[in-house]
Amino acid sequence: MFTSKLNTEQRERAVNSLATEEFDVLVIGGGVNGVGVALDAVSRGLKVALVEAHDFASGTSSRSSKLIHGGLRYLEQYDFKLVREALHERELMVSTQCPHLVKPVSFLYPLTEKVKERTYVGAGLALYDALRGFNRSLPSHKHLTGKTIAQISPSLRQDIITGAIRYFDAQVDDARHTMMIARTAARHGAVIATGIHVDGLRRNGKKVIGAVAFDRITQKKIEISAKVTIMCTGVWSDKLHEKFGLTPGYSVAMSKGVHIVMPGSAIESKDGIILKTPVSVLFLIPWGGQWIVGTTDTPYEGDRSNPIATHEDVQYILDQANRVLEPKLKAEDIIGVFAGLRPLVANKTGSATTKLSREHTVDHPVPGFVSLAGGKYTTYRVMAKDAVDLAVLDLRRLVNESVTEKLPLIGADGYYALQQQTTEIAEQYDLPDATITHLLNRYGSLMEEVLELISSDSALAQRLIPDLPYIKAEILHAVTHEGAVSVEDVLLRRTRISFEASDSGASVAEEVAAIIGPELGWSGRDRRVSVEAFLEVIADEEKALVELLNS
């Protein structure tokens, strides 16, 4: 059987396979769509390889609103198909696919007018509930009075809020979820390697027969053979189509989404809050002991590799949230800021990104090559299925149907039973119940991997930062099992310390390097380089906040 472990030994084997074997499917891109395609293809019995230039979810897939949702805003655009599809996927994730990663979260839609607004919003949420179908893990929406709102959410301004409607969606650590999909694909036999940059395509006449790649770690060229290549590179799609000399049937428009992170004390509310804004919606999302507030939705034409929030972005978020909050959010209380880019399929030049459809496009410009673009995080599985369905036509043989609708991610097996045993497990390992619950909701049944590290070295049971739940064993585990190869990988994506810690994790970067360095075979210089690279990243992300505070 195959292993789901992603580490330096696994990567070395993967790179050797890339150079010496032929694959049915080569996937370019390690975001949620790419790993979703790899899982869909390998679970059909195909021989699959996936390469990612940087790290899993290093782009858009780690910078979302962390929500698994149908998209209320798309109802106003009459995009009922997309909403129905997304709600079905939400149901699968919450109930069977990955309940250890995707959790229900309740939201309040505040009302400022007693009759017309309640009728209009209530009808929309009734439709939202109806589009779920009959399999329902989450409660239906409920109308609440102003008096009830004052108890549930004291931070909402009582002078303008007349009531609210509560509804449910779900939330996820997007980067962790993406990585766990990759591990699931590896568990079923996919050959996966990060740090592999694709420089070009291999061709036999017009047909694409693989890719020419460069290994960033060994500095060596790799020629990969594959019967069909599927590109899932999001906002990089246009650039890569041009580089590869391909003419796709679509173009991608980039929309920037910015979020700020506030301390838990900034907003007093038992539920999340959703607000309609002049251009989109704003979410105030409970996230552990903090709040994530966003997002913006603005056209973007800058550096794809480093989208940066501006002080105007941050001010916009504060202004929109403060319309209904008392006391108001303050810039000086912001813990973190992060920006991401949405890859939206553009149907005509000059379309405003807020009007573009979030439905996806699968394109087949030449034999042996398929590209996937658009869509939303929640519907990654459907997009992956559609891409593989089109790609396998080039294999010219019968291929099994997709089974991912019935395929749980690793860690889901036994999750509900383990929920009932947290106290016993905590006593067995001499750990607080809260630590076991934390691990269970990040690893599911795979938390055994983390606990084994603690059994070998009890010092790894200590928290890395006293105010956050992450323990040192998780830092080591990120390298031994989850494919992390840098301080940035660990603090930005395997954990979310980069936006949860008051100093963005700067004070623990050296300690993280000391924990993971021996496993990665680092020298003292390697450690310094990795720490400095991480500090540069968080300094870039904090520029907007610094500018705002100094303006």
Least Cα distance to 303 among 49, 62, 540, 548 occurs for 540
**Token pair for 518:** 């021996």
Is residue 56 within 8 A of residue 493, CB to CB? The reply is yes
Judgement on whether residues 290 and 374 belong to the same structural domain of the protein: no
- pLDDT at position 1 is 63
Is residue 11 within 8 A of residue 193, CB to CB? The reply is yes
- pLDDT at position 357 is 47
> How many residues does this entry show for the chain?
551
Peptide bond preceding 148 in cis form (omega within 30 of 0):
no
The b-or-e profile of 142-158 (16+ CB within 10 A means b, else e) is eebeeeebeebbebbee
- pLDDT at position 351 is 40
Instruction: Tell whether 1 is covered by a domain.
Output: no
Tell me, what amino acid is at 387?
Answer: A
Judgement on whether residues 209 and 230 belong to the same structural domain of the protein: yes
- pLDDT at position 358 is 54
Instruction: Tell whether 88 is covered by a domain.
Output: yes
CATH of the domain at 445: 1.10.8.870
Least Cα distance to 475 among 459, 180, 338 occurs for 459
Q: Is 209 exposed, middle or buried (0-12, 13-18, 19+ CB in 10 A)?
A: buried
Instruction: Tell whether 71 is covered by a domain.
Output: no
Cα separations in angstroms, 275 against 260, 264, 286: 15, 19, 15
Instruction: Tell whether 74 is covered by a domain.
Output: no
Judgement on whether residues 422 and 539 belong to the same structural domain of the protein: yes
Instruction: Tell whether 304 is covered by a domain.
Output: yes
Judgement on whether residues 90 and 179 belong to the same structural domain of the protein: no
Instruction: Report the C-alpha gap between 223 and 202 in whole angstroms.
Output: 8
Write the DSSP symbol of residue 412: -
Instruction: Tell whether 95 is covered by a domain.
Output: yes
**Token pair for 165:** 């409607």
Region class of 324: left (phi > 0), else alpha (psi between -120 and 50), else beta: alpha
Instruction: Tell whether 265 is covered by a domain.
Output: yes
The continuous run of DSSP H or E covering 32 comes out as helix 32-42
- Condensed to tens digits (0 to 9), the pLDDT of residues 274-327 reads 999 888 899 999 998 999 999 999 999 888 988 989 989 999 999 999 999 999
Judgement on whether residues 423 and 532 belong to the same structural domain of the protein: yes
CATH of the domain at 294: 3.30.9.10
Judgement on whether residues 187 and 92 belong to the same structural domain of the protein: no
- State the pTM of this model: 0.96
Number of domain units in the chain = 4
Judgement on whether residues 419 and 498 belong to the same structural domain of the protein: yes
Token pair 């830092």 is found at 475
Instruction: Give the β-pairing of 360-366 and 220-231.
Output: unpaired
Instruction: Report the C-alpha gap between 155 and 58 in whole angstroms.
Output: 34
Q: What is the DSSP string of 388-400?
A: HHHHGGGGTS--P
CATH of the domain at 208: 3.50.50.60
Judgement on whether residues 31 and 117 belong to the same structural domain of the protein: no
Instruction: Tell whether 214 is covered by a domain.
Output: yes
Token pair 């992170």 is found at 261
**Token pair for 433:** 């119940």
- Condensed to tens digits (0 to 9), the pLDDT of residues 241-277 reads 999 999 888 889 899 999 999 999 999 999 999 999 8
Instruction: Report the C-alpha gap between 529 and 523 in whole angstroms.
Output: 10
**Token pair for 378:** 């929640």
Domain that holds residue 456: 415-548
**Token pair for 153:** 């959410």
The b-or-e profile of 537-547 (16+ CB within 10 A means b, else e) is bbeebbebbee
Instruction: Report the C-alpha gap between 177 and 183 in whole angstroms.
Output: 10
> Which of 143, 169, 195 marks a domain boundary?
169
Judgement on whether residues 429 and 506 belong to the same structural domain of the protein: yes
Q: Is 182 exposed, middle or buried (0-12, 13-18, 19+ CB in 10 A)?
A: buried
User: Helix crossing, 422-429 with 447-456: angle to 10°?
Assistant: 20
Peptide bond preceding 327 in cis form (omega within 30 of 0):
yes
> Which of 141, 169, 197 marks a domain boundary?
169
How far is it between the farthest Cα atoms of the chain? Answer: 71
What are 1's strand-pairing partners? none
Judgement on whether residues 299 and 431 belong to the same structural domain of the protein: no
What are 201's strand-pairing partners? 211
Instruction: Report the C-alpha gap between 192 and 325 in whole angstroms.
Output: 46
Judgement on whether residues 131 and 261 belong to the same structural domain of the protein: no
- Condensed to tens digits (0 to 9), the pLDDT of residues 405-460 reads 999 999 999 999 999 999 999 999 999 999 999 999 999 999 999 999 999 999 99
Q: Where are the alpha helices (DSSP H) in 132-189?
A: 146-152, 174-187
Write the DSSP symbol of residue 421: T
Least Cα distance to 530 among 487, 490, 495, 482 occurs for 487
The list of the chain residues with pLDDT below 70 reads: 1, 347-358, 548, 551
Region class of 469: left (phi > 0), else alpha (psi between -120 and 50), else beta: alpha
- pLDDT at position 302 is 87
Judgement on whether residues 192 and 149 belong to the same structural domain of the protein: no
Instruction: Report the C-alpha gap between 147 and 457 in whole angstroms.
Output: 53
What are 258's strand-pairing partners? 339
> Which of 346, 364, 381 marks a domain boundary?
346
